[in-house]
Structure formats: C-alpha cells, structure tokens
C-alpha cells in the first residue's frame, strides 16, 4: 500500500522544516509547497526570495519535491486591502489572522489537495484532534509559542485533512531536532513582524498607502499638547512616537494614547498608565466565528485579545443575531476594535471574532 502523501507549507523557517522531517520519519510521502504572499519590492524589505532559497535547501536535504505557488494577488485582495481599510477607519487590524484564514487554509490547502495531497501540514504550534464530529483545535504544548490565536478564525471545514506536527513539542525541542537532523536552516532566526513591512518603520510604510491627516493631540483634560500626522499611525496604549515630551506643568513621565476622537480627528493621551479609558472588561463581536460552539455554553471560558497573552477568565453571552459579548473577570488593557478576541474552553480553541466595540471602564456603569 502506497504511503499517504502530505504536502507541507515550507516557509524557509526551521518550524516548517522540522515538520517536513518529522512527517517523513513517520513514513509519509512528503512534498513541500512554498507560498509567495507578497511580491518583492524594489527596496528589498520582504525576504521572500531568501526564504525560498532556504526552503529549497531544506527540500534538497530531505530529498523531497518542492512546489512554488504565487498567492500574492489573493493576499493583496483578501488581507492587505482589509488591513489598509481597518487603519483608515481608526482600527488596529491583524493581518496574521487574516493570512491564515484567507490564504494558508484556503488557496494553499485547495492547491495542495489538487496536487494530490492526502493531507496538508504546516509548522504552526497548535494541535488538532480529528473525530467523527469534526476537527477540534487545541492549544500547543508550548504555551509560549501557541499559535491558536492566529488560527481561530479559520473555518472548521478547512481543518479537515490538516496536520500540525509540532503541536506536542516546545521550541527548544524543535531546534534540537533540526540540529540532529542536519537541516541547513537549523540556526536560522525566527521571522518577526509582517512580511510586507519587514524591517522598515511602520508609519513610513503606511504613509505610502494612506494619506496623512494631521490633527491635534489633547491630554485627558482637553488641553492641546501636540500634533499628530494621522490617527491611523497610532493605537491604544501606544507610548513611542508621540513627540510630546517636555510639556509645561506636566510630570516627567511617558505619555500614552488613551483614545481617538474620529469625528474631530483628535488623538487623546494621558500620563496615567492605568487610565480608565485604557481598561475594559466588556467587548462585543457582531460576527463571531465558531470552530465549535459548545452546547450548552460553559459558564466560564477563557479568552485572549492578542497573541501570547495569558488566557483570561471570562464569560460569553450570545445574542439573537449571533453576536457575542465577552465579559472578563479582570480588566484588560488596550483592547481595541479591529483586534480579534479568541475564546477557549480549557485546551480547546472555540473560535474568534473581530472586536467591534469595547466598553472602557470610564464608560462602564
């Protein structure tokens, strides 16, 4: 009987390389597929070409075929345009969540299956449990590297025939396996940030696509303390890049963004690190995506509003239209629309949704 065929998303990084090696060790017939999600720019900030060379070296070492496919058009229309629209609307979007939902587990998965794969695999730190009732997404054994937050918006059906070989491993174990296997990228640094931005300054990149709209910076008493170049360049809780130090009558302490007044185009700041406008216990999502909706809903769940945040105790109330209100046991700092909130029932990730409304403690009754 022929070995089952797995196509691994080879990114050029050590995680996907070890995933391919592990699957080959387990007896699968393995192929690699390298995705181009962003066309190289003239300034060379995106490392796609370098990543491909690394993926090819891994494929050569493992003696597996490597396919290359260009999804940059899908990425631009499904991820990047949403990213720009979010910032234009004063939100803080998360392109990594959209990339997984709109590219890695749609066109990538479909392309791999067309190439004859029985399964597809990636180097995500997550676990997946396949059962007769459908797949369940579970947190990684390495809590520090767990990536279920980025996967929580993926449709449940798109987890069918998906494998996560690293789900029960820690990052140090993965590095050790890469060294033991002699993989050529075993010492390669993990990628950070977003490919299309790379190492360049974020505001400079965003200004290429969104027209600056300068306005006043006010403190929490309504006094003008500076000028901003555009609300899209700032997010709640931000400390750096405000250029408003040395205010007469103010303490020698950092300033933090505590709000945006979109109607007046005003950025609001404070030197109070625990200002009520920075804190919230309630947020709502109009269109929550359930990977698996438990019935009945547990009285207590856990949630996170950003990657690597410790799980926070909460409850979830579902309205007649399918919207979800999340109420936290403890105050959350700098929750903002455009981010995603992911819900968990112990080890299981139940799904996520883009935050539409945050009730700050300055407004909560």
Give me the active site residues, please.
Answer: 99, 195
User: Mapped to the 3 state alphabet, what secondary structure does the chain carry?
Assistant: CCCCEEEEECCCCHHHHHHHHHHHHCCCEEEEEEEECCCCCCCCCCCHHHHHHHHHHHHHHHCCCEEEEECHHHHHHHHHHHHHHHHHCCCCCCHHHHHHHHHHCCHHHHHHHHCCCCEEECCCCCEEECCCCCCEEECCCCCCCCCHHHHCCCCHHHHCCEECCCCCCCHHHHHHHHHHHCCCCCCCCCCCCCCCCCCCCHHHHHCCCCCCCCEEEEECCCCEEEEECCHHHCCCCCCCCCCCCCCCCCCCCCCEEEEEECCCCEEEEECCCCCHHHEEEEEEECCCEECCCCCCCCCCEEEECCCCCCCEEEEEEECCCCCEEEEEEEEEECCCECEEEEEEECCEEEEEEECCEEEECCCCC
CA distance 339 to 305: 7
CA angle, 144 then 146 then 152, to 5°: 145
Q: Is the separation of the CB atoms in 266 and 246 below 8 Å?
A: no
- In DSSP terms, 121 is beta-bridged to 8, 163
Lookup result for tokens 């597996």: 64
Q: The tokens of 100 are what? A: 């997984």
Q: Is the separation of the CB atoms in 46 and 202 below 8 Å?
A: no
φ and ψ of 20, to 5 deg = -65, -40
């Amino acid at each position: 009987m022929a070995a089952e065929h797995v196509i691994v998303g080879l990114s050029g990084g050590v995680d996907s390389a070890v995933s391919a090696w592990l699957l080959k060790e387990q007896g699968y017939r393995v192929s690699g597929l390298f995705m181009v999600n962003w066309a190289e720019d003239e300034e060379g900030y995106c490392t796609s070409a370098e990543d491909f060379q690394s993926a090819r070296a891994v494929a050569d070492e493992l003696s597996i075929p490597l396919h290359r496919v260009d999804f940059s058009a899908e990425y631009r229309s499904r991820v990047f345009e949403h990213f720009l629209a979010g910032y234009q609307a004063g939100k803080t979007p998360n392109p990594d969540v959209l990339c997984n939902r709109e590219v890695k587990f749609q066109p990538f998965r479909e392309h791999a299956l067309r190439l004859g794969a029985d399964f597809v695999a990636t180097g995500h730190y997550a676990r997946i449990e396949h059962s007769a009732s459908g797949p369940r997404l579970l947190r990684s054994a390495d809590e520090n590297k767990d990536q279920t937050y980025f996967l929580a918006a993926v449709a449940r059906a798109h987890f069918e025939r998906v494998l996560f070989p690293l789900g029960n491993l820690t990052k140090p174990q993965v590095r050790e396996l890469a060294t033991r296997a002699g993989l050529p990228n075993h010492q390669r640094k993990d990628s950070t940030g977003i490919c299309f931005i790379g190492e360049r300054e974020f505001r400079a990149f965003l200004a290429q696509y969104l027209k600056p709209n300068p306005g006043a910076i006010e403190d929490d008493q309504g006094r003008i303390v500076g000028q901003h170049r555009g609300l899209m360049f700032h997010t709640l809780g931000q400390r750096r890049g405000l250029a408003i130090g040395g205010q007469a009558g103010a303490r020698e302490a950092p300033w933090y963004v505590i709000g945006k007044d979109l109607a007046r185009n005003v950025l609001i700041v404070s030197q109070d690190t625990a200002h009520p406008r920075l804190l919230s216990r309630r947020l709502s999502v109009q269109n929550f995506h359930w990977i698996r909706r438990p019935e009945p809903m547990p009285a207590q769940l856990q949630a996170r509003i950003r990657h690597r945040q410790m799980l926070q105790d909460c409850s979830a109330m579902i309205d007649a239209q399918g919207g979800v209100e999340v109420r936290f046991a403890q105050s959350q700092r700098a929750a903002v629309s455009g981010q995603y909130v992911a819900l968990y029932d112990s080890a299981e990730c139940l799904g996520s949704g883009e935050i539409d409304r945050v009730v700050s403690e300055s407004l909560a009754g």
